[in-house]
Amino acid sequence: SQQGEEDPQALSIQEGENATMNCSYKTSINNLQWYRQNSGRGLVHLILIRSNEREKHSGRLRVTLDTSKKSSSLLITASRAADTASYFCATDVDSNYQLIWGAGTKLIIKP
Amino acid sequence: DVKVTQSSRYLVKRTGEKVFLECVQDMDHENMFWYRQDPGLGLRLIYFSYDVKMKEKGDIPEGYSVSREKKERFSLILESASTNQTSMYLCASSPLVGPKNTEAFFGQGTRLTVV
């Protein structure tokens, strides 16, 4: 079953600009994670934010979580060509130890 | 570094064949997962295992089975491959279960084509 929905489905920006992706979910969660997938490869974990946290930073990444709106955003600042990838959110649903995945946002950074 | 290794990057099989996809992790993780990934559908869980010889069905187990005889190895079996099983298959492992769930580590993926 799919819970997370990323928005937009695709995003194309110039190198150096900031990129913002959003994730909405339906049920209560323990945590929310963001992953990156380079074309045709496996996924790489970026950041995990717990349900009692509102904001988290890791290098050029900033993640926010609004549990009242059941949404999260991933901000990549000063984008680089190497950031070109698909980005997925995954939620750890309460009472269920599976990760529930969204369909992803495809980010293209133009040089 | 955690390493999750899938036995093949690309695989082409014929309809009706029995197909084995192998996954090995080297970090002594309890949990292992098999997903399939199709455009626009995100990752869908086929099966997962939280211990040796234990397995649980995910969202789309039909047409698949799994085997976990050793902690480090989790195999996905397509009993009789069909064209609708053409997909990217991703194996993952993670060290914890439940509310303290931490990150999952993924293999590089196997792109399976059934002809």
Give buried/exposed letters for A32-70 (b at 16+ CB in 10 A, else e).
Answer: bbbbbbeeebbbebbbbbeeeeeebeeeebbbbbeeeeb
- pLDDT the model gives residue B96: 66
Q: How do strand B110-114 and strand B10-13 relate by DSSP bridges?
A: parallel
- pLDDT the model gives residue B42: 83
pLDDT along chain B (115 residues), means of 10: 89 97 94 91 90 90 96 97 97 74 88 97
- B22 within 8 A of B73, measured Cβ to Cβ: yes
Best of A91, A98, A106 to disrupt the B interface (most B CBs within 10 Å) is: A98
- pLDDT the model gives residue A33: 93
* Assigned token pair, A58: 């890791």
Neighbours of B10 (CB within 10 A): 10
A99 CB within 8 Å of a chain B CB: yes
Return the DSSP state at A26. S
Closest-CA residue to A63 (of A23, A30, A27): A23
- pLDDT the model gives residue A28: 84
Residues of chain A with pLDDT under 50: 1-2
Which residues in chain B touch residue A41, judged by CB atoms under 8 angstroms apart?
A: 108-109
Contact at CB, B104 and A102, closer than 8 angstroms: no
A33 CB within 8 Å of a chain B CB: yes
Nearest to A103 among B42, B99, B101 (CB): B42
Contact at CB, B108 and A41, closer than 8 angstroms: yes
